[in-house]
Amino acid sequence: MPERMKRLPTIDWSKLKILVVDDQRTAAVLLKSLLKNIGIHTTNIDMAFSYEEAIRYCQNNHYQLLLTDYHLNKALNGNELTTLLRQKKLLSSDCGILVLSGDHSREVILTTLSIEPDSFLSKPITIAGLKQKLEEICNDCAQRKPIYAALENNDIPLAIRIAKQQLSEYGHHHKIEGLLLDLLIEQKDWEQVKRLTTLLIIQNPTHKISLVDARISYHEGDINTAIHKLQQLVARSPLYVDAYDFLSLYQEENKQYHDALSSAKQALNYTPSVTHRVLQVAQLAANLNDSESLIKAGKVLASHLPIIDVSWVTRFAEFTAIFEQLYFAQTSHRLQRQLIQQLKGIHQLAIKRLLPIQQPFLTLYGQITLARFLLANDQPLKAKRRLMVSLSAHFDAITKLPSVILIEILPALFHLGEAQLIFDIYQVFKQRDRIDGHSKNRLTELKKNTTSINSIRALMIDLKEAKMLLEQDHIADLVTLQHYNDIISRYPLCSEAHLGRLQSLYQLNLYDQDKIKESIKAINMMPLPSALAEWRTNIFQCLLIKMAKTQHNITIDPYLRRYHSKNTVTTFIS
């Protein structure tokens, strides 16, 4: 037994608090029996048969060990559950994680290792094998506990000192050595990184040490040597997936784009549920105009969406942004149409993966994307109708939409001049104190477009002034009408401007057939936010009544006549 193990405190099994997660009740009971035989009190063992139960248990208990099966029967697997519990801070940093599975496939093992549990154990399980794993985990947790306590207090220098002390007292420990190197790199202390790595390559070489050695070469400006070292590492250890990530990044920087894509594909092939690898493949494929590789990556993403929280829609938005890069790079409308069909197929795959409560958000996001494509192809009216129909279910619940969806809607709303919805979304962002990274980047890009921002500000001011003129004693004059005509010249589909123009024409007794038909076309056959929808209903009814009284022979879209009712008002949604 290694020296460091002899010097560690004896484990008091009776005091360990453990959560077992397995959707198979028989397997969970069997595991509980094995834990009892090791010496753990049954009163200290909780069993959860779903991820929802596991969350509830972790909300009310502090566990030293989490033992979870990889394949859970519902939406989440054991890896995703562990990630969710960590994100919600329902597990302490010193809680040991053991993932179990009867599936010995390369994908399951490598994907599990990517979330950095303390260990992985293949089924069937023996008492001796389980006890050995738990001993290793408990000892590792005891050693890392003071290090992570320092990190939780944002004291990286203290964490580094403790890690060094642990290695000095207990000897080599590859996890703590790896953690120490990561902390030193985070502190940009490359001199210490190099000294420690040089020592460890001789005394305790691991895949992690070889990877850091390549990173040192890159940091020193020798990218070719870094690539060569990583190529040697993956040839020696083809399942060490982290090496492919850095190899792909360095090859891309070295303008070896096809090699970079190949390396990224290899990493993704080993761990298809790791989304940052999907996005790396997609981005490299888009840069190379490789639609086949990008679509394959999209299908992998759709089949493995991280549905544990709202991050799934962020990942989908990031992929869609890359997809749009490829889409707009095509010079053929035929190829663009083919790509859209492929994207729709990806959406259908994703729908099957998502929970029922999440599916409407993906449907909305897909419609927003298609609306953007219509705008780009100079079909603004179709784009507006698609956008309004898809948004209609959320007009009164804008605050409940994820930030990433709201930010994706804004550019289209800016283009169309939909001031009311822009204002509503702006109010939501003012109140949110947490926004995902993708949405922050999109907001930053939007704010940089000062011409567009200033134009929208001017639009809102103009609409407010025009409405004030319109409401003064309910008498409009030609100045008010000109206000609305000027707005429409800048924003030809602005709903509020067309409603205002129709009311101005009505109050002035002006029957300009072309303008009336233009305004009706801009706002009919689509839902509008409640205040605008009510305004539309009222003005349409007034126009119909006045035309009937004055017997004006004006050809108006038949849609207008749907509003001709003395007692009821119906709103048509396409």
Residue percentage of the chain with pLDDT more than 70: 92
Average pLDDT over residues 222-226: 98
Average pLDDT over residues 151-163: 92
Question: CB of 370 within 8 A of CB of 343?
Answer: no
- pLDDT band, very low/low/confident/very high, at 193 (cuts 50, 70, 90): very high
Q: What is the DSSP string of 329-355?
A: H---HHHHHHHHHHHHHHHHHHHHHS-
Angle at 329 between CA 323 and CA 330, to 5 degrees: 100
Residue 556: the pLDDT is 53
Residue percentage of the chain with pLDDT more than 90: 61
Angle between helices 127-152 and 25-38 in degrees, nearest 10 = 90
Distance between CA 46 and CA 31 in Å, rounded?
Answer: 11
- Total count of residues recorded for the chain: 574
The three-state secondary structure class of 176 is helix
- pLDDT band, very low/low/confident/very high, at 551 (cuts 50, 70, 90): low
- pLDDT band, very low/low/confident/very high, at 8 (cuts 50, 70, 90): low
Residue 102: the pLDDT is 81
Q: What tokens were used for 452?
A: 């567009």
Mean pLDDT across the chain, nearest whole number?
88
Residue 572: the pLDDT is 27
Residue 226: the pLDDT is 98
Average pLDDT over residues 344-351: 95
Report the candidate in 268, 314, 271, 313 with the shortest Cα–Cα distance to residue 294.
Answer: 268
Q: Reply yes or no on whether the pLDDT at 160 is more than 80.
A: yes
Residue 557: the pLDDT is 47
Distance between CA 497 and CA 484 in Å, rounded?
Answer: 5
Give the tens place of pLDDT for each residue, 76-114.
788 888 888 887 889 888 889 998 888 777 777 777 776
Give the tens place of pLDDT for each residue, 113-129.
766 777 888 888 889 99
Say if residue 434 is exposed, middle or buried (CB neighbours under 10 Å; 0-12, 13-18, 19+). exposed
Q: Reply yes or no on whether the pLDDT at 441 is more than 80.
A: yes
Q: Reply yes or no on whether the pLDDT at 184 is more than 70.
A: yes
Give the tens place of pLDDT for each residue, 56-68.
999 999 999 999 9
Residue 82: the pLDDT is 85
Q: Reply yes or no on whether the pLDDT at 24 is more than 80.
A: yes
Give the tens place of pLDDT for each residue, 404-428.
999 999 999 999 999 999 999 999 9
Residue 118: the pLDDT is 76
Residue 111: the pLDDT is 73
**Does the reported pTM lie above 0.75?**
yes
Distance between CA 136 and CA 544 in Å, rounded?
Answer: 81
Residues 355-361: contacts with CB under 8 Å, at least 24 apart:
355/75, 355/307, 358/307, 358/312, 358/313, 360/393, 361/313, 361/401, 361/402, 361/405
Q: Reply yes or no on whether the pLDDT at 166 is more than 80.
A: yes
Q: Reply yes or no on whether the pLDDT at 348 is more than 90.
A: yes
Distance between CA 427 and CA 192 in Å, rounded?
Answer: 49
Candidate from 323-337, 348-362, 472-486 with smallest mean pLDDT? 472-486
Residue 476: the pLDDT is 60
Q: Reply yes or no on whether the pLDDT at 2 is more than 50.
A: no
Distance between CA 355 and CA 359 in Å, rounded?
Answer: 6
Residue 569: the pLDDT is 33
Give the tens place of pLDDT for each residue, 280-303.
999 999 999 999 999 999 999 999
Q: Reply yes or no on whether the pLDDT at 503 is more than 90.
A: yes
Q: Reply yes or no on whether the pLDDT at 568 is more than 80.
A: no
Q: Reply yes or no on whether the pLDDT at 474 is more than 80.
A: no
Q: What tokens were used for 203?
A: 């005394």
Residue 258: the pLDDT is 98
Average pLDDT over residues 541-558: 66
Residue 309: the pLDDT is 73
| Exposure class string for 16-42: b at 16+ Cβ within 10 A, else e | bbbbbbbbeeebbebbbeebeeeebee
Find residue 65's DSSP bridge partners: 18, 96
Residue listed under structure tokens 């008002």? 569
Residue 325: the pLDDT is 96
Residue 287: the pLDDT is 97
Average pLDDT over residues 554-564: 50
Contacts of 443 (CB under 8 A, 6+ apart): 407, 429, 435
Q: Reply yes or no on whether the pLDDT at 6 is more than 50.
A: no
Candidate from 250-259, 285-294, 390-399, 550-559 with smallest mean pLDDT? 550-559
